[in-house]
Each structure stands twice: as structure tokens, then as C-alpha cells.
Amino acid sequence: MHYVYILQSERNGRYYIGQTNSMDRRVEQHNNGRVKATKYLRPWVLVYREEYAEGTEARQREWWLKAQKSRRLLEHLIKSGAP
């Protein structure tokens, strides 16, 4: 199983979009400072995720979400679905 996920920083409310094949491990990496892009805004909370059978589908969705650059879209997804 592959996942696209949205994390929210408890420090400043920013969102981070990513994809992984191991949700628990990846969130732990973000919160332990092992991800360069997120280590200074810890702690992070998983606020949304989508499941995909194939990694290519998850990567395409991640790229699409990042390309939108829309906080409103992310907040709409978060309100409509649960982590």
C-alpha cells in the first residue's frame, strides 16, 4: 500500500505534502528530525492521507497536490477526509 499524506506543523500551522509506502515510519522520521524539509517545524501531526495500490499513482497525486500551491484545497481535503 502507498500513501499520499498531509502533515501540519504544530509550531506554525504550515502543511507538508508527501508520499510513502510506510505511513508510521515516515511520520516518525518527520518528527525525529530526519527529514531536511521538515526538521525545523516539528512536531508534525498527520491530518490527512489517501491510499493507493501503486506507488506511481501516489507520486502523481503528490505532484499534483504540490503543483496546486493551494492552502484552501488542502484545508478542503482535510475537512472532507480523515487521517
Residue-wise pLDDT tens digits, 5-58: 999 999 999 999 999 999 999 999 999 999 999 999 999 999 999 999 999 999
Asked if residues 77 and 48 have their Cβ atoms less than 8 Å apart, the reply is yes
CATH class of 2-80: alpha beta
Tell me which H or E stretch contains 76: helix 71-80
Q: Residue 83: pLDDT above 80? A: no
Largest CA-CA distance found in the chain, in angstroms, rounded: 33
Digit-coded pLDDT (tens) for 61-72: 999 999 999 999
Q: How many CA atoms lie within 13 A of 5 on its CB side?
A: 21
